Structure 1
Amino acid sequence: MAADSSLMPPCRKIRKGEPNPNHSGSSGMEEPQDADYPYVPQLCDDIERLILARFPRSEYWKLNFLNKHFSHVLKSGELFKLRRQIGFKESSIFMSASGGNCWWAFDRLFKCCRQLPELPSRDVCFIGGDKESLCAGSHLIVSGREFTGCNVVWRFELETSKWFKGPSMIDPRCLFASATCGTFGFVAGGVEMGLHGVEVLNSAEKYNPEIKSWERLPYMHKKRQLCSGCFMDDKFYVIGGKDENHKELTCGESYNKDNNTWELIQDMLKDDDNPVAKRQSPPLLAVVNNELYCLETSSNELKVYLKKTNTWKKLGAVPVRADLHKGWGVAFKSLGNELLVIGYSSAIASSNRNCNCNGMTIYTCRPEVKSEELQWRCVEGYRDRLNFFLLNCCVMVA
């Protein structure tokens, strides 16, 4: 009986010096070789990419050093598109804590860490000045000011593991609110250094990493700087900050992508027990399971926003000293279904108030709105690579 051809491995051309599987014995050898490798059919491109799409993204950068084929697959961006299609997402934390152009990337569990290539800017003002960051898709966006006074944007692309300059925002800004939704990055408010001096903005923009461009959004109701942003209920929220007269704002605004409009929310940060005027940094906000949390910088206390009553509920103390620098130098982020906070440990500060040692402490917890006391877990590792004052921190989900 003839063999079923559908069960036979695909044929390929026999190269010189390679044994012919159709012949037996040494007569099939045109030239000698050092080893006899069994024939293994190659995977088709679709199956290969499906396997790589499930490969830990924190290890993707190693594909660049495997061979040209895998490097090309990574740089094409196809793996990230496929990950989105199959719903396979992974969180990474990007931090800059040592000044200059040094950035570190951590996996979600802080078990894997690598230093990114040095940001290639040689502008001394950009290197030593304040910078702001956000993530959009597989791009890390870093915004800062150069010696000329102009605000510039640098982006780090995971596909190529390289930095690129631009594209600049439509309205170059600093001290703005930002948030990520899917593959898009959103910014709003802030300060623009123009020909006529400093201008507080009420403009907003959306960054699309696939076409590497910014798109203007409708203007907000209020001009605001030193504000914070987040995504909740599928809306872009911009909360708090100061207006053009340096007056503290307790209101918030939400941008609805479906009807392309902003809604003003009065007294969103109003708290009679702890006035908003005490907040020096932008509000420290994070959204987990579609609930909004705030780290109060003057009391080191965690609060959750009650949407129905437009009020805040206290959930107890957070184990870091956010009050040491009035909220600056502390990271408070959402990490999947957990809250992430990075800062100087309150336990160390309590035991030694005169301690000037460096070292960040990382904590996570799974918050519950109805809980009376939250359980924080201390994450070990890489403390020696980050100093006490955290300059930038953002979370990428891709």
Structure 2
Amino acid sequence: MGGILSLVGPRSRTNEYHEVSPNDTCKRQRLSSCTFEERQRLIPNLPDEISIQIIARLPRICYFDIRLVSRKWKETVRSSELFKLRKELGGTEEWLYMLTKIEEDKLSWHAFDPLSKKWLRLPQMPNVVYEEESSKGLSWFWMLNMVGPTIKIADTIRGWLGRKNSFDQMPFCGCAIGAVDGCLYVLGGFYRSTTMRCVWRFDPIQNAWSEVRAMSASRAYCKTGILNNKLYVVGGVSRGRGGLIPLQSAEVFEPSTGTWSQVPSMPFARAQALPTAFLTDMLRPIATGLTSYMGRLCVSQSLYSWPFFVDVGGETYDPETNSWDDMPIGMGEGWPARQAGTKLSVVVDGELYAFDPSSSLDSGKIKVYDQGEDAWKVVIGKVPIHDFAGSESPYLLAGFHGKLHVITKDVNHEITVLRADLCSNLGPLSPSSPSLLPGSSLDHFDSVAESDAVVWKSIGTRDFGSVELVGCQVIDV
């Protein structure tokens, strides 16, 4: 009769039937269905379309906690659709990603959120692992002591005792780094006594590393730059029979297709103009810096015969004509030199800045390039940094939130991110700005002298122990 048999309590000695109309049955089915659907939603009582709109407006630092709510929340905060929506809403955030070197062969990435002032450690890159002496046997391999972003060849080659695991393609040292299309890239480097072609990519949305197509040439200490959302790699060194060979070749990576294409090789015109064959053979040309500026790749160059470096200007690459040209004389000759001949520069709001280290080992200058006059001009007279003879890279430059930043390490192993703030409404940094902070001590970043136009503000500090700075990139996600 359409009824449901129900067993009742002890008082019921007979079977009773509860009549249920067809309408009641439908109501119960709808109620059960709604309850199931509610459990499947990101936020109860809200359509997922609205919930995603809410999540997209949250600070990205929150995603690391809310992904623990459920599998669906985890899938949501790792979806490309969510980050596409964040971009449409103008809610992307610039984070600083910093590569450090622990001991002699371990690389570690850290992310810094300038808004929350929090540091995060990225998942470990696939790496070569060394093991202690094993009964299964020993294997020796040799590697040049070339670590950090500078070209520093040790007097002797260090020997390492160990055994590698299956991850035998990840570079130990000499790798280049870049950032394009919202991802980090680690390229090439040295493994054993050879240079590598491998390329690894970190996706901050998935919070994971993956291997992508390798470069066409093996290289270490190459330079990277971004033009038209493409990753360019130029120069570097390769391992040959006679030792390290500087490379003139260049190539470009297209993130949308995951493919590499060839770029015309750098002419190294200054090296070809040396007066004698002896000097040509003795002084090897090498790319010592790269900055993407005004739609071109600006590659500074040097001639070297270790340990001597001679700056010889540089060359620029125009993607429109797919050709190289001589760098403007003033840009090339006045580009501040860094240790071992490398150049440290960054573009902020269309302005090209470079760091000029001081001989006093506790400060430096920031110069800006004046394109109209083809000259470098001091824009910041004193940068409170600590330079250590034993440190491969005691400072880095970065640009985010429209301001210039310096990353430095002090004697207490603390790594500090310093921001150049204007003390008055003088507009952007200009050569007319007065000098900076009178003292170089890290204890005085927040103090301001009356005559100062710029003050260094510490926006993040952390003790990383005895690590070396290798490089940094900024990603807007």
Coarse TM-score class (shorter-chain normalised): 0.7 to 0.9
Mapping of residues 107-126 of structure 1, within 5 Å: 107-109=113-115, 111-123=117-129
Q: Post-superposition shift, 1:74?
A: 4.6
Shift of 1:63: 5.6
1:67 aligns with 2:70: yes
2:332 aligned with 1:332: no
**Structure-1 residue corresponding to 2:186:** 142
- Which residue of structure 2 lines up, in the alignment, with residue 349 of structure 1? none
**TM-score between both structures, scaled by the size of structure 2:** 0.64
Matched, 1:200 2:243: no
Whole-angstrom distance in 1 between the partners of 2:46 and 2:116: 37
Deviations 1:69-93 (A, max 9, x none): 3443454533444445555432111
Gaps of 5+ in 2: 1-23, 131-142, 144-169, 272-284, 422-427, 436-452
Tell me if the contact between 2:416 and 2:461 (Cα under 8 Å) persists in the aligned partners. no
Relative distance call for 1:201 and 1:51 in structure 2 (3 A) is farther
Q: Which has the higher strand share?
A: 2
Residue 96 of structure 2 aligns with an amino acid whose one-letter code is I
Matches of 2:293 and 2:352 in 1, distance apart? 7
Residue 270 in 1 paired to residue 333 in 2? yes
Partner-residue secondary structure (3-state), 2:385? coil
Counterpart contact for 1:184–1:209, Cα < 8 Å? yes
Query: Counterparts of 1:55 and 1:218 in 2: how far apart (Å)?
Result: 45
More off after superposition, 155-164 vs 140-149:
140-149
User: How much has 1:191 moved relative to structure 2?
Assistant: 1.1
Do the aligned partners of 2:420 and 2:457 also contact (CA within 8 Å) in 1?
no
Residues 176-215 of structure 1 mapped to structure 2, 5 A cutoff: 176-181=222-227, 183-194=229-240, 197-215=243-261
Q: CA deviation at 1:280?
A: 2.0
Q: Structure 1 residues 129-138 or 78-87, which shifts more? A: 78-87
Aligned length: 361
* Native 8 Å contact 2:195 2:238 kept in 1: no
Greater alpha carbon shift after TM alignment, 308-317 vs 137-146 = 137-146
Taking only the aligned residue pairs, the percentage that are identical comes to 24
1:313 shift after superposition: 0.8
Instruction: Give the 3 Å change call, closer, same or farther, for CA 262–80 of structure 1 in structure 2.
Output: farther
Instruction: Return the alpha-carbon distance in structure 1 between the equivalents of residues 92 and 241 of structure 2.
Output: 43
Q: Aligned-residue CA RMSD in angstroms? A: 3.8
For each residue in 1:139-172, what CA deviation from the matched residue of structure 2 results, as whole angstroms up to 9, or x when unmatched? 2112332226231332211132112234322222
Q: Does 2:110 align with 1:104?
A: yes
CA contact (8 A) 2:398 2:473 kept: yes
2:290 matches 1:235: no
* Bigger Cα displacement from structure 2, 59-68 vs 143-152: 59-68
Conservation of the 8 A alpha-carbon contact between 1:185 and 1:208: yes
**Partner residue in 1 for 2:357:** 297
Which residue matches 1:363? 418
Question: Equivalents in 2 of 1:335, 1:111: separation in Å?
Answer: 14
TM-score scaled by structure 1?
0.76
Counterpart residue identity of residue 365, structure 1: A
Q: Which runs of 5+ in 1 are unaligned?
A: 1-19, 346-355
Do residues 311 (structure 1) and 375 (structure 2) align?
yes
Measured in 1, the distance between the counterparts of 2:117 and 2:393 equals 26
Contact 1:360 1:388 in 2 (8 A): no
